């Protein structure tokens, strides 16, 4: 199960020295060091010490065979840096439930007068009122707390002004 001739990694001496420095220094991120080791083992150029198959590389480095192939193909298609560095996410892993407009509505609600019989807004009262006013369909007390914490709001502690910073 050797590789065909079309996807051989041929490193020049400069690339090989850079990859060896990355794999030896220990200061780079673990994935970068691992990818550098894979590329060094995949090398079939004049500086290569041994010809490794994907199966051998994967067993020595405790990776899956497909991972070795993906790193090699990324190096051949995109170059050294994309093969070493992890690709950045295009979007956040979890979409934010609250946007700026909703946050502003929650803060405005918190700055308004509390319900009759209440001295100040509690997180439970705020959450219930948010549901009643259909500001958002689903929200937890913790999310409301985080929104208020961002604004440095201190519920009912100061009578003269709303925010601790005096705004």
Dump pLDDT digits (tens) for 26-42: 888 999 999 999 999 99
Query: Mean pLDDT for the chain?
Result: 84
Task: Of 150, 151, 160, 162, give the one whose Cα is nearest residue 121.
Answer: 162
Q: Which residue has the tokens 């995949």?
A: 42
Dump pLDDT digits (tens) for 158-167: 444 444 444 4
**Can you give the pTM of this predicted structure?**
0.56
- Do 99 and 140 touch, CB atoms closer than 8 A? no
Q: Which residue has the tokens 């009578």?
A: 159
Looking at residue 46, its pLDDT comes to: 79
Distances (CA, A) of 117 to 106, 125, 127, 128, 147: 21, 12, 17, 16, 25
Looking at residue 47, its pLDDT comes to: 78
- Do 32 and 85 touch, CB atoms closer than 8 A? yes
Looking at residue 71, its pLDDT comes to: 93
Distances (CA, A) of 98 to 7, 60, 126: 47, 47, 15
State the Cα–Cα distance between residues 84 and 80, nearest whole angstrom: 6
Dihedral of alpha carbons 73, 32, 12, 63, sign: negative
For residue 50, name the pLDDT band (cuts at 50, 70, 90). confident
Q: Which residues contact 44 (CB under 8 A, 6 or more apart)?
A: 8, 9, 10, 51
């Amino acid at each position: 199960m050797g590789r065909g001739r079309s996807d051989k990694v041929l490193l020049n001496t400069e690339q090989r020295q850079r990859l060896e420095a990355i794999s030896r220094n220990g200061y780079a991120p673990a994935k970068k060091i691992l990818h550098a080791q894979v590329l060094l083992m995949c090398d079939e150029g004049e500086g290569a010490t041994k010809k490794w198959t994907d199966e051998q590389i994967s067993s020595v480095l405790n990776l899956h065979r497909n991972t070795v192939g993906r790193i090699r193909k990324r190096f051949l298609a995109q170059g050294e840096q994309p093969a070493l560095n992890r690709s950045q996410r295009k979007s956040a892993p979890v979409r934010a439930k609250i946007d700026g407009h909703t946050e502003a509505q929650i803060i405005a609600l918190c700055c308004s007068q509390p319900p009759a019989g209440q001295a100040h807004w509690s997180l439970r009262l705020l959450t219930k009122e948010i549901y009643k006013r259909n500001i958002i369909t689903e929200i937890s007390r913790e999310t409301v707390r985080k929104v208020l914490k961002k604004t440095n709001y201190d519920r009912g502690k100061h009578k003269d002004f709303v925010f601790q910073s005096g705004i």
